[in-house]
Amino acid sequence: MPPTPRPRGLAVLPVVLGVAFVVALAVFPKFVESPYALQMMVLFFLAVIQGEAWNLIGGYGGQYSVGHAAYFGIGAYTVIVLLQSRGIAPWWGLAPALALAVVVAAVVGSLTFRLRGPYFVLASIAVAEIFRLAALNWKDLTNGAEGILLSEIPPLVVGGVLVTDFSTKVPFYYMGLALAVVTVLVTVWFQGSKLGYYLQAIREDQDAANSLGIPLTFYKNVALMISAFFTAFAGALYGLYVGFIDPQTALGLDISVQIVLTAIIGGIGTVLGPVIGAALLVALSEALRSNLLTDALIGSGVVDASSGVGQFLRDNLSHAHMLIYGVLVALTILFMPDGVLGAIKNQVRKRRTRAAAGGAA
């Protein structure tokens, strides 16, 4: 049974479905006013942006950076510091924030991309930790461990017309949605471009890629710079949305891990993998945070609420997201190495093969 050739162009059905999905998301706030629902959606969009951004260098390029918190934090800190201490509006502050992230990516890439495999991973973690420690100790600029509380975002006025005063979650919803759509489109372009081909060749076999005329470090650097750009953008949005940043929430290791997870759980090296991963992870982390999971366990009678186990879960499960993430990664890598999307595709392929075999018999 020959495998079906994988089309690279845009098929009609996915485009129609994609547009319909985006339109539905665009009108969502008109019908749903619940701040809780909007909050979930904003977190989902932010996770999509970060997952897609990481996917370019990690999924397509196979360079598993576990230090993307550095770019996230650079985006958040630059915009917030400029706004809070210099009064520079965030839409102006965004330019230096993104530029800084891209420059840092170029420097970090040039230094660390000569390393391969686990050595590169360790170096990427170390770089992010350097930024976190710098934010922790450079108190004049970052206010150290106390973090920065944003007092207010100036209203956005274009040509005398008030666009938004940022008093609700709705403007953040649309910014998140727009940027998430852009990152997905960038990924579609990337996948069919020379850059995308070269990154995939590098992922599969660096020496072979090199012998075919691909300068490895250059192409890895370009992909990392694009990746850092969008990650920093997400960081800036996050900082403005939450209104508070400190070294742990903007530059912590768990941010890097969460970004990698989003892509791995969904399916790395695919356009939609990070979208699926983002939906699953945001839902899971909310279920943990709100003790939904514990309530479900107790409600279904699996665990007795008054027992020691029940008390323990109620007290601790909501803080155990890193532990659960760790278990998830192990399970994904063991049982679904191509992520949820890959597992679904494999199932569909198997069923088709079986159907074809059954039809032939």
Partner 1 sequence: MSPGPAPILEIRQVSKFFGGLAANSDVSFSMSEGMILGLIGPNGAGKTTLFNCITGYYPPSRGEILFKGERMNGLTPDQVCKRGMVRTWQKVRPLAKLSVLDNVVVGALVRTNSVPEAREIAHEQLRVVKLDHKDGFLAGGLPIGERKKLEVARVLATRPSLLLLDEVMGGLNPAESEDIIQLILEIKERGLTQMVIEHDMKAIMRISDRIVVLNSGEKLAEGAPQEVVSNPEVVTAYLGEAHV
Size of the site for partner 1 (CB under 8 A): 26
Q: Is 359 in the site for partner 1 (CB under 8 A)?
A: no
Q: Which is nearer to partner 1, 55 or 256 (CB)?
A: 55
Q: Does 4 bind partner 1 (CB under 8 A)?
A: yes
210 vs 307, beta carbon nearer partner 1? 210
- 133 vs 208, which CB is nearer to partner 1? 208
- Answer for which of 166, 198, 229, 238 binds partner 1 (CB under 8 A) is 198
- Span from 2-10, 48-56, 285-293, 304-312 in contact with partner 1 (CB under 8 A): 2-10
Tell me whether residue 5 or residue 87 sits nearer to partner 1 (CB atom). Answer: 5
* Alpha carbons 187 and 50: distance in angstroms, whole number: 12
55 near 196, Cβ under 8 Å? no
Left (φ > 0), alpha (ψ -120 to 50) or beta: where does 166 sit?
left
User: Other C-beta atoms within 10 Å of 220: how many?
Assistant: 25
Quick note: the x/- pattern for partner 1 over 244-283, rule CB under 8 A, is -------------------------x--------------
- Minimum CB–partner distance for residue 189 and partner 1 (Å): 11
Question: What is the C-alpha to C-alpha distance for residues 64 and 262, in angstroms, rounded to an integer?
Answer: 13
Cβ 152 vs Cβ 252: under 8 Å: no
Binding to partner 1 by residue 351, rule CB under 8 A? no
| Nearest distance in Å: CB 115, partner 1 | 17
**Of positions 80, 82, 201, 261, contacts partner 1 by CB under 8 A:** 201
Give the ranges where the chain is alpha helix by DSSP (H): 12-31, 35-54, 69-86, 90-112, 118-137, 139-142, 170-191, 194-204, 206-211, 216-242, 247-251, 253-266, 273-289, 292-299, 308-316, 321-335, 339-360
Distance CA 205, CA 209 (A): 6
Residues that bind partner 1 in the complex, under the rule CB under 8 A: 2-6, 192-194, 197-198, 200-201, 203-205, 207-216, 269
